[in-house]
């Protein structure tokens, strides 16, 4: 990464953030991948901010007030991962700031903050260096200001928790007192910066509670749903039940009979590809949310469904499964699986299936927009405030610079709120009414009109030697691609999706082929926590367990054998399009030693092979690397005579490199186990004649307390390797580990999710 | 006209008597600590206390709250944090936090009925509250700690 730091104090940007005369730094990072992502073009800065071609790149900001308050900008959205706390904490560490004097300011959407897409489990990974450099830079400028003031050599000064200290003369000065003087210092070069040794860290590796914790438990925290403006109107939108559907007719007048309803407004259908555009339909505008909901019931819309009206999940499933049985496009190849299969040895085949999933984050999509004179101000619980700027700009036909996006707290996201369609609806309706409009999606809207996790069918085939170890391994997945969001005529999975737990399967296999088959989308397909890793990990690690049992071997012993000796796997050598989560393999190699270690820890901590299991009890294991983090989970189940499954314990070991906030990390992995339990037990979204059949938590159940693991223990490997992800990687190994446990407990192999479709009795 | 008390204050409501209490609290009184999650009493995010009992405000029509006393998360503790809120902080329960005010209101009502709850009591008492982030084991631990029951 390249980075440069400029002192921009006197340019007075970020109005209202820091008082004048305060020290303000901006840091710019130039990761190569960002240039590529943005097509190599520089993003224009918005008026009032510094104009710089480099503003395309990630930036982080720190300001210090005269009273010692340190302001740190959280450029990433807070949806429950604690990134709003953990990322600023890195800066506070190198600034040697007193965390109790730090205030966090949530960034608006702006390219100058760099990548704000809070996805891909990379908030810490991508911003670790930026935050450190920013903190260290501010600290050095404060230190130099103090040294100058005291007329002592800089080398004799140190920092000590919000103070600069000169021990020899026993002089101390607070950061607030020094801020204005420090602002006059030239910004040091990157090479001059000094970073704390591990032993001196106060925060990194120790963590901090969420900055918003107190406000959350008292009901004062501001979520997207809670934003209020005087004289705002409320809107609820009747969307076409089928993707691409159009309004034929509706009753304009009847909704007005509902007290509080002001008007109805049609929203134009999108032009494919759908991107993040509004779905179209009819909006009901009212003076409260309830009236808008009630008014909708009287719209009596007649729809023209279009071609996706033929989409039926049962039929589509058969189609995917048939495709998965046929040769597909090769994404990775080692040796010659066909030649090995032709030798006529023992061959094992299995098919797996995972349906669509809905994110069902607790806060349904919601946004408030206020359009005036060609500009619009939006409050949206968005994982992508810059994406919201772009989409809203396009939909309204205004430059994205005229779209100001504020990001309140997100009541969950899991990928759904990476897509700003709901914010664009609010903007359109504010423009149409000339008033601030808050669009509120009902739970039914959320379930009916999601960007669903892709349904997927997988086919696996292996030939094995006398010990049951594979001599050849073929894996094929078929799923509608997320790329269908952005382009028409998308028929195959992208290299990116295949790189999520498929091409990068690091087993020690002499002959190995990875394939992908053709599938078309009929609903919106989107990122869902850990994305394609879910179905890929389910197939790969269920199959590994099947092979272990087939060989009569202990699944942990077998798994370690399958992983093979400790080594760095060069995936790209056999899968040319593999991108390693956008990171250079030199920084984030795929290291089977780390994979083996988490397997060993999870097995040991769970009492694998030692713990006495009662009748109907079983343990299962799976290990998976995703978002550059290595995770092994042992799930323990108890299955009763009625086939009811309890999950008394989960033991998860993870190696995420350097972990900034261990307690928040543990929470993420505990939560991932619960979400895993949801998708194993009941996670299924299906379509009939193009329309989604589920609507709320009664027919799309998610885990309640009794369904969740009773206890998940999380073990974090102490590591100074570059930081990797923690938000998503807990999810992929859970489903196969749980289903492997069910097999051990009952002898029933679950190859199709959700579990509700498999009988565990008799 | 419907008369009621919200957080100790007398209020009168003249709108549609079928309007759920949730939207009156949120849209009219701007008491936004009570959350909208499902609208069908399935998730518990909207839990408030009605005459001391936990109810789902999303499915409680205004017509049924005449002359009743409503307490929301905003007024659950008159001075400082309620002990349950304190344990929520101590155990770092929330992730996104959206459901947690409802969870806390439910937990407080549960502890009134079962001051020393067993695991089964907690599972039953909290069964109507969904947390999609999956903070259940911390919720259970926080409730036990608030009750002084060993985990």
Q: Is A86 on the interface with B (CB under 8 A)?
A: no
Smallest Cα–Cα separation from A219: which of B141, B24, B46?
B46
Instruction: Examine the domain organization and report whether B93 and B67 are in the same domain.
Output: no
Closest approach of A748 to chain B, Cα-based (Å): 27
Smallest Cα–Cα separation from A418: which of A378, A461, A454, A387?
A387
Measured distance CA(A499)–CA(A503) in Å, rounded: 5
Q: Is A288 on the interface with B (CB under 8 A)?
A: yes
Instruction: Give how many domains chain B has, as a whole number.
Output: 2
Give the pair of three-digit tokens for residue A59.
């930036």
Predicted confidence at residue A61, as pLDDT, reads 73
Q: Is B29 on the interface with A (CB under 8 A)?
A: no
Indicate yes or no: CB of B92 within 8 angstroms of CB of A363.
Answer: no
Instruction: Give how many domains chain A has, as a whole number.
Output: 3
Instruction: Examine the domain organization and report whether B69 and B87 are in the same domain.
Output: no
Smallest Cα–Cα separation from A753: which of A389, A229, A152, A352?
A352
Residues of chain B in contact with residue A212, where contact means CB-CB under 8 angstroms, are 97
User: Which residues have a Cβ under 8 Å from the Cβ of A22 and sit 6 or more positions away?
Assistant: A9, A63, A64, A65, A66, A179, A180, A183
- Is residue A762 one of the residues assigned to a domain? no
User: Which residues have a Cβ under 8 Å from the Cβ of A762 and sit 6 or more positions away?
Assistant: none
CATH number for the domain harbouring residue B48? 3.10.20.30
> Can you give the residue range of the structural domain that contains A204?
3-218
Last residue in a domain, options B55, B75, B95 = B75
Residues of chain B in contact with residue A78, where contact means CB-CB under 8 angstroms, are 96
Residues of chain B in contact with residue A443, where contact means CB-CB under 8 angstroms, are 37-40, 43
Q: Which of B37, B73, B140 sits opposite A362 (nearest CB)?
A: B37
Instruction: Examine the domain organization and report whether A397 and A434 are in the same domain.
Output: yes
Closest approach of A415 to chain B, Cα-based (Å): 13
Residues of chain A with pLDDT under 70: 1-60, 762
Smallest Cα–Cα separation from A364: which of A529, A225, A217?
A225
Smallest Cα–Cα separation from A535: which of A408, A395, A352?
A352
Predicted confidence at residue A53, as pLDDT, reads 22
User: Which residues have a Cβ under 8 Å from the Cβ of A332 and sit 6 or more positions away?
Assistant: A503, A512, A513, A514, A571, A574, A575, A578
Smallest Cα–Cα separation from A95: which of A130, A31, A54, A140?
A140
Instruction: Examine the domain organization and report whether A425 and A461 are in the same domain.
Output: no
Instruction: Examine the domain organization and report whether B111 and B94 are in the same domain.
Output: yes
pLDDT above 90 covers a percentage of chain B that reads 97
Q: Between the CA of residue B57 and those of A698, B24, B72, what are the distances in Å?
A: 18, 9, 10
A546: Cα separation from own chain's centroid: 30
The pTM assigned to this predicted structure is 0.94
Which helix (H) or strand (E) segment holds residue A386: the answer is helix A385-396
Indicate yes or no: CB of A697 within 8 angstroms of CB of B101.
Answer: no
Smallest Cα–Cα separation from A5: which of A45, A60, A51?
A60
Indicate yes or no: CB of A218 within 8 angstroms of CB of B97.
Answer: no
Interface of B with A in 81-140 (CB under 8 A): 81, 85, 88-89, 92-101, 104, 122-123, 126-127, 129-140
- Is residue A446 one of the residues assigned to a domain? no
Last residue in a domain, options A396, A416, A440 = A440
Q: Beta strand A687-688 with A645-655: parallel, antiparallel or unpaired?
A: unpaired
Instruction: Examine the domain organization and report whether A469 and A430 are in the same domain.
Output: no
Residues of chain B in contact with residue A667, where contact means CB-CB under 8 angstroms, are 92, 95, 135, 138
Instruction: Examine the domain organization and report whether A574 and A463 are in the same domain.
Output: yes
Q: Is B80 on the interface with A (CB under 8 A)?
A: no
Indicate yes or no: CB of B72 within 8 angstroms of CB of A708.
Answer: no
- Is residue A458 one of the residues assigned to a domain? yes
Chain A residue with CA closest to B83: the answer is A217
Measured distance CA(A312)–CA(A76) in Å, rounded: 38
Indicate yes or no: CB of A696 within 8 angstroms of CB of B131.
Answer: no
Chain B residue with CA closest to A361: the answer is B132
Helix (H, G, I), strand (E, B) or coil at A597: helix
Last residue in a domain, options B46, B75, B104 = B75
Q: Count helices and strands (H / E) in chain A.
A: 18, 30
CB A469 within 8 A of CB A540: no
Last residue in a domain, options A191, A218, A245 = A218
Indicate yes or no: CB of B127 within 8 angstroms of CB of A704.
Answer: yes
Measured distance CA(A53)–CA(A41) in Å, rounded: 9
CATH number for the domain harbouring residue B90? 1.10.150.120
Residues of chain B in contact with residue A383, where contact means CB-CB under 8 angstroms, are none
Measured distance CA(A268)–CA(A504) in Å, rounded: 42
For residue A319, report the phi and psi dihedrals to the nearest 5 degrees: -60, -50
Measured distance CA(A535)–CA(A454) in Å, rounded: 9
Residues of chain A in contact with residue B94, where contact means CB-CB under 8 angstroms, are 80, 210, 213, 216-217
Predicted confidence at residue A187, as pLDDT, reads 80
A with B: how many residue pairs have Cβ under 8 Å apart?
Answer: 192
Predicted confidence at residue A42, as pLDDT, reads 23
Instruction: Examine the domain organization and report whether B63 and B30 are in the same domain.
Output: yes
Q: Is B151 on the interface with A (CB under 8 A)?
A: no
Chain B residue with CA closest to A85: the answer is B95
Give the pair of three-digit tokens for residue B143.
């409730």
Measured distance CA(A705)–CA(A457) in Å, rounded: 30
Interface of A with B in 19-78 (CB under 8 A): 78
Tens digits of per-residue pLDDT, B54-106?
999 999 999 999 999 999 999 999 889 999 999 999 999 999 999 999 999 99
Instruction: Examine the domain organization and report whether B141 and B93 are in the same domain.
Output: yes
pLDDT above 90 covers a percentage of chain A that reads 85
Measured distance CA(A375)–CA(A431) in Å, rounded: 9
Is residue A121 reached through a cis peptide bond, with omega within 30 degrees of 0 on the bond before it? no
CATH number for the domain harbouring residue A237? 3.30.365.10
Radius of gyration of chain A (CA): 27
Indicate yes or no: CB of B130 within 8 angstroms of CB of A362.
Answer: yes
Smallest Cα–Cα separation from A89: which of A59, A122, A120, A134?
A134
Predicted confidence at residue A33, as pLDDT, reads 27
Predicted confidence at residue A401, as pLDDT, reads 94
Position B49 pLDDT exceeds 80: yes
What are the residues facing A457 on neighbouring strands? A353, A478
Helix (H, G, I), strand (E, B) or coil at A31: coil
Closest approach of B22 to chain A, Cα-based (Å): 9
Smallest Cα–Cα separation from A680: which of A714, A645, A712, A652?
A645
Interface of A with B in 678-737 (CB under 8 A): 696-698, 702-706, 708-712
Q: Which of B89, B96, B123 sits opposite A80 (nearest CB)?
A: B96
Smallest Cα–Cα separation from A724: which of A598, A594, A653, A630?
A630
Q: Which of B106, B132, B135, B143 to mutate to test the interface with A (most CBs of A within 10 A)?
A: B132
Q: Is A364 on the interface with B (CB under 8 A)?
A: yes
Smallest Cα–Cα separation from B88: which of A203, A223, A677, A667?
A667
Predicted confidence at residue B150, as pLDDT, reads 72
Instruction: Examine the domain organization and report whether A166 and A200 are in the same domain.
Output: yes
Closest approach of B104 to chain A, Cα-based (Å): 8
Last residue in a domain, options B75, B94, B122 = B75
Predicted confidence at residue A188, as pLDDT, reads 82
Instruction: Examine the domain organization and report whether B102 and B65 are in the same domain.
Output: no
Complex ipTM tops 0.95: yes
Q: Is B23 on the interface with A (CB under 8 A)?
A: yes
Q: Which of A210, A705, A728 to mutate to test the interface with B (most CBs of B within 10 A)?
A: A705
Q: Which of A234, A290, A442 sits opposite B20 (nearest CB)?
A: A290
> Can you give the residue range of the structural domain that contains B98?
83-147
Indicate yes or no: CB of A362 within 8 angstroms of CB of B35.
Answer: yes
Residues of chain B in contact with residue A712, where contact means CB-CB under 8 angstroms, are 137
């Amino acid at each position: 990464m390249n980075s440069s730091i400029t002192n921009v104090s006197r340019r007075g940007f970020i109005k209202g953030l820091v008082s004048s005369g305060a020290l303000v730094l901006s840091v710019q990072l130039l990761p190569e991948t960002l240039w590529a992502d943005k097509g190599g073009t520089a993003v224009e800065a918005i008026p009032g901010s510094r104009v710089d071609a480099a503003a395309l790149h990630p930036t982080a900001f720190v300001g210090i007030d005269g009273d010692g308050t340190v302001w740190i900008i959280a450029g990433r959205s807070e949806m429950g991962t604690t990134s709003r706390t953990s990322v600023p904490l890195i800066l506070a560490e190198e600034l040697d700031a007193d965390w109790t004097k730090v205030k966090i300011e949530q960034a608006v959407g702006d390219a100058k903050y760099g990548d704000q897409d809070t996805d891909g489990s990379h908030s810490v990974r991508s911003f670790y260096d930026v935050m450190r450099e920013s903190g260290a830079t501010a600290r050095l400028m404060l230190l130099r200001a103090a040294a100058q003031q005291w007329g002592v050599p800089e080398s004799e000064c140190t920092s000590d928790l919000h103070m600069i200290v000169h021990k020899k003369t026993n002089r101390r000065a607070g950061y607030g007192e020094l801020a204005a003087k420090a602002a006059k210092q030239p910004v040091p070069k990157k090479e001059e910066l000094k970073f704390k040794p591990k032993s001196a860290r106060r925060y990194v590796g120790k963590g901090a509670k969420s900055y918003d914790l107190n406000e959350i438990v008292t009901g004062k925290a501001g979520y997207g749903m809670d934003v209020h403006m005087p004289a705002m109107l409320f809107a609820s939108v009747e969307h076409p039940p089928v993707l691409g559907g159009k309004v034929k007719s509706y009753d304009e007048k009847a909704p007005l009979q509902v007290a509080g309803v002001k008007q109805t407004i049609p929203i134009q259908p999108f032009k494919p590809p759908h991107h993040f555009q509004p779905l179209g339909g009819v909006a009901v505008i009212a003076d409260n949310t309830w009236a808008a909901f009630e008014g909708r019931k009287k719209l009596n819309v007649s729809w023209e469904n279009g071609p996706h009206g033929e989409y039926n999940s049962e039929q589509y499933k058969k189609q995917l499964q048939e495709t998965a049985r046929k040769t597909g496009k090769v994404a990775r190849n080692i040796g010659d699986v066909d030649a090995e299969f032709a030798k006529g040895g023992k061959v094992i085949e299995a098919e797996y299936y995972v349906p669509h999933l809905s994110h069902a984050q607790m806060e349904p999509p919601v946004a408030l927009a206020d359009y005036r004179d060609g500009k619009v101000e939006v409050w949206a619980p968005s994982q992508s405030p810059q994406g919201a700027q772009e989409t809203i700009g396009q939909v309204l036909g205004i430059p994205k610079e005229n779209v100001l996006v504020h990001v309140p707290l997100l009541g969950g996201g899991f990928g759904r709120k990476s897509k700003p369609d709901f914010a664009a609806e609010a903007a359109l309706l504010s423009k149409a009414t000339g008033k601030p409009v808050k669009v509120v999606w009902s739970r039914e809207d959320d379930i009916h009109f999601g960007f669903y996790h892709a349904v997927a069918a997988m086919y696996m085939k292996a030939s094995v030697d006398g010990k049951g170890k594979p001599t050849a391994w073929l894996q094929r997945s078929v799923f509608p691609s997320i790329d269908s969001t952005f382009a028409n005529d998308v028929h195959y999975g992208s290299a990116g999706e295949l790189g999520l737990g498929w091409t990068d399967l690091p087993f020690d296999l002499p002959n190995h082929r990875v394939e992908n088959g053709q599938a078309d989308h009929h609903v919106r397909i989107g990122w869902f926590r850990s994305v394609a890793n879910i179905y890929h990990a389910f197939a790969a690690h269920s199959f590994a367990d099947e092979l272990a049992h087939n060989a009569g071997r202990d699944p942990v012993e077998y798994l370690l054998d399958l992983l093979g000796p400790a080594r760095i796997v060069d995936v790209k050598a056999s899968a040319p399009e593999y991108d390693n989560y956008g990171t250079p393999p030199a920084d984030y190699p795929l290291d089977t030693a780390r994979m083996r270690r988490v397997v060993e820890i999870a097995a040991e901590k769970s009492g694998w092979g030692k713990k006495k299991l009662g009748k109907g009890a079983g343990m299962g294991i799976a290990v998976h690397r995703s978002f550059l983090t290595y995770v092994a989970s042992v799930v323990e189940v108890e299955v009763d005579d009625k086939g009811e499954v309890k999950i008394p314990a989960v033991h998860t070991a993870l190696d995420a490199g350097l972990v900034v906030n261990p307690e928040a990390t543990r929470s993420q992995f505990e939560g991932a186990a619960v979400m895993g339990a949801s998708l194993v037990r009941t996670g299924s979204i299906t379509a009939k004649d193009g329309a989604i059949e589920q609507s709320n938590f009664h027919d799309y159940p998610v885990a309640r307390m009794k369904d969740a693991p009773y206890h998940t223990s999380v073990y974090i490997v102490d590591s100074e390797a570059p930081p990797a992800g923690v938000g998503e990687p807990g999810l992929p190994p859970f489903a196969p580990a749980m289903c492997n446990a069910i097999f051990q407990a009952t002898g029933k192999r679950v190859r199709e999710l959700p579990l509700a479709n498999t009988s565990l009795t008799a | 006209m419907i008369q009621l008390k919200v957080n100790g204050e007398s209020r009168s409501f003249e709108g549609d008597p079928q309007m759920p209490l949730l939207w009156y609290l949120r849209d009219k009184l701007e008491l936004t600590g009570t959350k909208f999650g499902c609208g069908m009493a399935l998730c518990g995010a909207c839990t408030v206390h009605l005459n001391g009992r936990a109810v789902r405000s999303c499915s409680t029509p205004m017509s049924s709250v005449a002359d009743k006393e409503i307490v929301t998360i905003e007024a659950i503790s008159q001075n400082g944090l309620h002990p349950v809120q304190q344990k929520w902080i101590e155990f770092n329960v929330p992730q996104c936090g959206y459901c947690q005010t409802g969870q806390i209101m439910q937990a407080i009502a549960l502890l009134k009925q079962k001051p020393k709850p067993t695991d089964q009591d907690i599972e039953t008492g909290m069964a109507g509250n969904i947390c999609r982030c999956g903070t259940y084991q911390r919720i259970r631990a926080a409730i036990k700690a608030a009750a002084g029951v060993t985990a």
